[in-house]
Chains A and B, each alone.
Chain A
Amino acid sequence: MFNKILIANRGEIARRIMRTCQEFKIKTAAIYSDADKDAFYLQEADEIYNIGPANPLKSYLNIEAIIAAVKKAGADAVHPGYGFLSENYSFAEAVVSSGVTWIGPPPDVMRAIESKCYCREIASRVNVPIIPGTIAPLGSLDELHKVIAEIGLPVFLKLDKGGGGKGIEVIQDMAQIRDVWERVLRVGMVAFGSTDCYLETQIINPRHIEVQFLSDNSGKCICLGERECSTQRKHQKIIEESLSPVVEEKERRSLYEYTRKLVVAMGYEGAGTIEFLRSDKGEFHFMEVNARLQVEHPVTEFLTGIDIVKSQLEVAAGENLSMNQEDIMLEGHAIEARIYAEDPVSFSPSPGKISKLRFPEIDSRHLRIDHAIEEGSSVSPYYDPLIAKVIVWDATRMKAIRRLEEALTAFKVEGIKTTIPLNLQILASKEYREGDFNTSLIEKLFKEEHKTV
């Protein structure tokens, strides 16, 4: 195992990773930007290294500065968390070529799967259903017209190397084709350095369902149930749960089969997630691979009792996974509510000082809160608005919903606005309680609310 791990991230996820390291007596080195210099969680690290100013391009996205910190710390491994450089193969390569272990999939695998067309090609080769559309990047506007004539509208035009919701546009009618094409190419050029793009038909009223997997270098791949992530605002998840209220055992077996085929074909090692879209007819389509630890991983940890970060460390250290698929128990129900520092109606950001903070009472069997905030601390305007994740487990879905409602009601944050009222509104809705929802749930709830006013 490792002696010292540098955590190339900040906030709640840095703290989460430190916790597992501490459990296994691994020293931790944390990095921080000037904006985070007073963050209390840094005291939980064995060593801390300043890597630059508030601007993330000059700190948390600054490969050179982070590699310098890795060397200074004498760390023997780097955990990238999620976001920032976690899926950046240049960073992974820089870590490896400094003689340090990268806690994540092999850099060459990361480089390959960054291309969504490559992933679609692999999926179709191993008979995993993909969202209908094109596989090879589109060559020209003419080709785009031709494909649309064949498959019809509406379609999504997506950048092969896009991400974070950028470089995706819907085409509703023929007159838009040229404008959308030019716009997407421009975003590709400016933001991603690649103008390759492809088409996908629009899945109507989709549910977003994903499979968490662990794989090691012996070729073993274990699936840890599925997560239902359809509750989203601004195309970002806000409530996740496991298991999904709509996936039946037979479908779960197919999703596991798809996941294993993809993992083997990609040569992936470590923890990862395969995202699927489920149509309102119940058909699953492979969407993309997330080559990192995900924000919502605690839902799976609570359901299965497995520490995913620990498994990541073991695989990165060259050990084989100690468990088998039949050891994975999916008992009860886990739900996570993400709390964002945002106005719960307009979703506009709400950074600032937390003047008062009261957490609900933690109970290691039923309630977990992952966060990096304290009373009197400030939520920075420079980084992600996620301030806390409240995760509950109980024997049934309804009990878990009630437990989450209790926890969110007892969670008091003053000084900034948070999405707690929105989280509660979702949980109280008939659609959510009955498990009958898709990715447009929040939009629908807002519309209904306006009707009654």
Chain B
Amino acid sequence: MEATISANIPGLVGRVIVSEGDQVSKGQTIAVINCMKTELAVISEHDGKVKQVLAKEWDEMDVGSPMIILELNEVE
């Protein structure tokens, strides 16, 4: 199963904190979006492994722009 983590606020991508292959957990900050000079965290809503990083620094984001694709951990 896969899940896409999308921008929750418009702005410019400040940093993407995770890389492909990284294990992330629910609640972890995976990127920072700079909106109106304020840095806001983009949080993962799932546990999983980063399959693909779609967003890069300075990309313009709208609400819902895909940023990261996660391969979800299988539920034990």
- Check if B12 is an interface residue, CB within 8 A of chain A: yes
Q: Is the interface of A mostly helix, strand, loop or mixed?
A: loop
How many angstroms between the C-alpha atoms of A54 and B35 in the bound complex? Answer: 12
- Check if A57 is an interface residue, CB within 8 A of chain B: yes
How many angstroms between the C-alpha atoms of A385 and B38 in the bound complex? Answer: 9
Given contacts A381-B9, A382-B11, is CB(A349)–CB(B58) below 8 Å?
no
- Check if A341 is an interface residue, CB within 8 A of chain B: yes
B36 contacts A385, CB within 8 Å? yes
A55 contacts B12, CB within 8 Å? yes
With an 8 Å Cβ cutoff, the count of chain B residues facing the other chain is 11
How many angstroms between the C-alpha atoms of A381 and B11 in the bound complex? Answer: 5
How many angstroms between the C-alpha atoms of A351 and B9 in the bound complex? Answer: 9
With an 8 Å Cβ cutoff, the count of chain A residues facing the other chain is 15
Give the chain B neighbours of A351 by CB distance below 8 A. Answer: 10-11, 35-36
- Check if A254 is an interface residue, CB within 8 A of chain B: no
B12 contacts A54, CB within 8 Å? yes
How many angstroms between the C-alpha atoms of A299 and B9 in the bound complex? Answer: 34
Given contacts A383-B36, A384-B37, A385-B36, is CB(A349)–CB(B60) below 8 Å?
no
A381 contacts B10, CB within 8 Å? yes
A384 contacts B36, CB within 8 Å? yes
Q: Is the interface of B mostly helix, strand, loop or mixed?
A: strand
Give the chain A neighbours of B37 by CB distance below 8 A. Answer: 383-385
Residue from A53, A57, A349 within 8 A of B35 (CB atoms): A349
A348 contacts B38, CB within 8 Å? yes
Residue from B10, B11, B38, B58 within 8 A of A57 (CB atoms): B58
How many angstroms between the C-alpha atoms of A55 and B57 in the bound complex? Answer: 11
How many angstroms between the C-alpha atoms of A54 and B13 in the bound complex? Answer: 12
Give the chain B neighbours of A53 by CB distance below 8 A. Answer: 60
Q: Could you tell me which residues of chain A, from 77 to 104, have a CB within 8 Å of some CB in chain B?
A: none
CB pairs A–B below 8 angstroms (14 shown): A54-B12, A55-B12, A341-B36, A347-B38, A348-B38, A349-B9, A351-B11, A381-B11, A381-B12, A381-B35, A382-B12, A383-B36, A383-B37, A385-B36
4 more A-B contacts (CB under 8 A) besides A349-B9, A351-B35?
A349-B36, A381-B9, A382-B11, A385-B36
Interface residues of A (CB under 8 A from B): 53-55, 57, 341-342, 347-349, 351, 381-385
